[in-house]
Amino acid sequence: MARKCDITGKGPLVGNNVSHANNKTKRRQLPNLRSVKITLEDGTTKRIKVAASTLRTMKKKAAQAAAAN
């Protein structure tokens, strides 16, 4: 399985570690993925990987929608 958010498609970034001597070595910055269960329309549950920032956004949008009603 790829280290990628199933909703937004956010994946690893590539950059450099830089030492005090300015030596550069490659590194990967991985997304903060969380495994969550979702319930589908037919009642079954499925486990997906979602970035933590996406969970925050979804929670915020749900709260705004509840406040609007």
CA distance 66 to 21: 53
64 sits in which H/E element: helix 52-68
Domain encompassing residue 14: 1-59
pLDDT (tens digit per residue) in 7-30: 999 999 999 999 999 999 999 999
Task: Select from 32, 35, 36 the least CA-distant residue to 10.
Answer: 32
pTM value is 0.78
Provide the domain count of the chain: 1
**67 within domain boundaries:** no
CATH number of the domain bearing residue 19:
2.30.170.40
Q: Does residue 66 lie within any of the structural domains?
A: no
Rounded mean pLDDT of 58-65? 92
Label residues 35-48 b or e (16+ Cβ within 10 Å = b): eeeeeeeeeeeeee
Please report whether residue 68 resides in a domain: no
Cα separations in angstroms, 54 against 23, 27, 31: 34, 23, 11
